[in-house]
Amino acid sequence: MTVTRPVRVLALAAVLAVVSLSTAYAQGGGGHLVVIGGGTRPASINTLIARLAGGAQGRLLVFPQASAVAGTGPDLAAEFRALGLGTVIVITADHAAADTDAVLRQTDGATGVYFAGGDQNRLMAVLRGTKLEARLRTLYRDGAVIAGTSAGAAVMSRVMITGDEQRPLTKDQDWQTIEADNVVTAPGLGLLDDVVVDQHFVRRRRHNRLISLVLEQPALLGVAIDEETATWVKPDRTFEVVGNGPVVVFDAKGATTTRDTAGPGLRGSDLRLHVLRAGAVYDLGTRTVRRNAPTP
C-alpha cells in the first residue's frame, strides 16, 4: 500500500505530539503547583488554590501527616470548605495504608492536593515508595493542582532538603557555614526535577544552606520562598510569584564552582541571583526572568 504525503504528515504530527507530551510529563506535569514558603497564607494564595482545584466542583485531598498537631487535618478541611471547595477529604493514611485500595479509592476524581506544614520527613515516610505516592504524580500529570506549605513545599523537589545539618557549629545556631557535605537531603516527590525548594527563607536566614547545596549540585536551581509567599508553577514550566514576600532564585549552572582541597569549604564565581516579588514570572526551562515588575 502506498502512503500518501498527507497521511505521512499526519502520522508524523501524531508522533511529534506524543513525544512533546511525554517530554512535558518528564519535565513536570499537566497540572499546577502552588509551593508556599510557610507562615500565614494570604487570600491571594488561598483563592488561587481553590480556583485551580475547581471551586464548587473541586475535590481536594488534604495530607496533614507532616504536622504533629492532631487537629491539623480537620482545621484545614474546614478552611478549604469555607473557600467554596465542593469536596475536601483528609487523607490520614500511614505508610502501610498508603498501598491499600481503600486509600487509593479516596483519591479518585481528585482535582487538588494540599500538604500541611511541619516536618517533611514525616510526610515522605508515609508516601515514599507507595502506590499513593505514584497516584499523586499521576494526578499532577493529569491536571490536578498540588499545593503545600513549608514542609509541604519541601517535598515537591526530587532532591528534598530534610532540615538536618551534618556539622552544626553550635547547638542553637544552624547553617553558619558555606560548606560541602553539610546539607542533608533525601528523595522528595520529584514534581520539580531540576529544582530544589527552600522555605521560610528570608525570615529564617537560610541563605548559607541553599548556596551550599547549589554550589555542590549546580544542575539544581535553588528556589527559596519566603513566608506568606508562593511560587505558582504552571504547565509551561514558568512560575509566577504570589503573596507578600520575596522569592530568591540561586542559579549556579553557569558558575565556576570548586571545593577546597584541604577542607569542605566551597567557592564559586558568577553565581546568578534573582530577587522576585508578586507578579514576577520566571522560566524554569531557560532559567531566565520573564518579568520582575508588579502586574499592571
Q: How many CB atoms lie within 10 A of CB 22?
A: 10
pLDDT at 24: 37
209 belongs to a structural domain: yes
- From residue 264, give the alpha-carbon distance in Å to each of 100, 160, 251: 45, 21, 21
14 belongs to a structural domain: no
Of 37, 21, 86, 31, residue with least CA distance to 60: 86
91 belongs to a structural domain: yes
Q: How far apart (Å, rounded) are the C-alpha atoms in residues 45 and 281?
A: 16
CB distance 115 to 151 below 8 Å: yes
Q: Give me the phi and psi of 149, to 5 degrees please.
A: -120, 140
pLDDT in tens, 248-287: 999 999 999 999 999 999 999 999 999 999 999 999 999 9
Is residue 3 over pLDDT 60?
no
- Which H or E element spans position 139? helix 131-141
205 belongs to a structural domain: yes
Strand ranges, E, within the chain? 32-36, 59-63, 87-90, 112-115, 145-149, 159-165, 183-187, 195-199, 221-225, 229-233, 238-243, 247-251, 256-259, 266-269, 272-276, 281-283, 288-291
pLDDT at 1: 38
pLDDT at 295: 66
pLDDT band at 76 (very low <50, low <70, confident <90, very high): very high
Q: Helix 131-141 and helix 120-127: axis angle, to 10°?
A: 100
Q: How far apart (Å, rounded) are the C-alpha atoms in residues 184 and 161?
A: 6
230 belongs to a structural domain: yes
Residue 275 cell numbers, joined: 530577587
SS3 51: helix
Is residue 20 over pLDDT 60?
no
192 belongs to a structural domain: yes
One DSSP character per residue, 189-234 reads --SBSSEEEEESTTTTT-HHHHHHHHHH-TTSEEEEE-TTEEEEE-
How many domains is the chain partitioned into structurally?
1
pLDDT band at 169 (very low <50, low <70, confident <90, very high): confident
Cα atoms in the 13 Å half-sphere on the side-chain side of 259:
15
Query: Which domain does 186 fall in, by range?
Result: 29-287
Of 236, 238, 32, residue with least CA distance to 148: 32
CB distance 250 to 271 below 8 Å: yes
Identity of the amino acid at 81:
R
Is residue 146 over pLDDT 80?
yes
208 belongs to a structural domain: yes
pLDDT in tens, 225-250: 999 999 999 999 999 999 999 999 99
Is residue 22 over pLDDT 60?
no
Is residue 18 over pLDDT 60?
no
pLDDT in tens, 86-111: 999 999 999 999 999 999 999 999 99
- From residue 124, give the alpha-carbon distance in Å to each of 10, 120, 127, 182: 44, 6, 5, 21
Is residue 4 over pLDDT 50?
no
User: The domain that contains 50 carries what CATH number?
Assistant: 3.40.50.880
pTM reported for the whole predicted model = 0.88
Long-range contacts, 167-171 (Cβ 8 Å, 24+): 167/264
Is residue 183 over pLDDT 70?
yes
Q: How many CB atoms lie within 10 A of CB 196?
A: 25
- List the catalytic residues: 150, 200, 227
163 belongs to a structural domain: yes
